[in-house]
A and B are shown apart, each in its own frame.
Chain A
């Protein structure tokens, strides 16, 4: 029961608070969507604290991609794997609360100034940064499979299919699962 509530590491409330604060800070930096915070989350939970392995982190993202719903739910799986339901509460509340408050209060402010020089400079300046963050995220997600030629061929296959066709991503996720289950991605 305790493992269900608090997960494998038995983290105390101090650590959960840290987790909440770090995910909250990342959410406020997430200008290109939730997934662009994945590199720093990975650095924090895998590199700095060792709560998860590389493979656990990437599979958390993959599980969330395989399920319906907003991409941001991957933080719930990361939280679950670190500290059970308490971890889900910490990571999800961190990822949603600060940015939700900001979104609601900033809507009118931004609405009135959409065409101002300041707003335009803000969007234009951050656009290439967002792009770089997305590329970094894609690169870091390949970390656990870089030794496998089969899996690394899946990456350009996915990219090309997404760019050249209008196939729904769910089919590609299914192809990836099948490909891996036949142990071609080991």
Chain B
């Protein structure tokens, strides 16, 4: 773990762009683990604690977590130029790659092998998302709402969005405000 005095700062927007580009290109199925390794261990731009802090902030804020984090890191070092460089590094090359894949897919999707491969990958993608959810279940134990109420809110959300297919805006604003209010009351006790 680097000492605070051993931390270094990126010298230019170009350096921020390159570092975020490199970590994005290593991130298959999510960038967070690679981001920790690059930003904390290799570049030493921040301590592990600072990284965790930024991550939780990125998670509370709406929008893509890793994009939020990149914006905050870039902004902290070089203001809005840093934020733009971090976002650009994270998105530009991966965007080209993903669009290239999409074009290739459109050319080849009528071949049964390609269609089959994508179906198999779709099933794995579903499993990856479910596994991420299950990994988070443990963190609900320390939730001030208590795990029973948390389980109920999670199940209601799953039922409303996943089974009944209600629009998300109503569910998040409605159920979300009830949950936040409940947590507020419980914390005050």
Contact = CB atoms under 8 A, between A and B. Distances in A.
Interface of A: 25-35, 37, 39-40, 43, 47, 55, 58-73, 76-77, 80-81, 88, 92, 95-96, 98-100, 102-104, 106-107, 110-111, 114, 117-142, 144-145, 148, 151-152, 154-159, 162-163, 168-170, 172-173, 175-186
A132 B61 contact: no
A110 B60 contact: yes
Interface residues of B, number: 98
Please indicate which of the listed interface residues B26, B56, B98, B114 has the most CB atoms of chain A within 10 Å of its own CB: B98
A169 B128 contact: yes
B68 interface: yes
A128 B179 CA distance: 9
A122 B143 CA distance: 11
15 contacts: A62-B118, A68-B28, A118-B184, A125-B180, A125-B182, A128-B157, A129-B172, A129-B179, A133-B157, A133-B158, A133-B161, A163-B131, A175-B120, A179-B120, A180-B117
B161 A121 contact: no
Contacts of A37: 168
Given A107-B75, A122-B60, A144-B122, A88 B99 contact: yes
Contacts, number: 389
Contacts of B52: none
B145 A132 contact: no
A40 to B, nearest CB: 4
Question: Mostly helix, strand, loop or mixed at chain A's interface?
Answer: helix
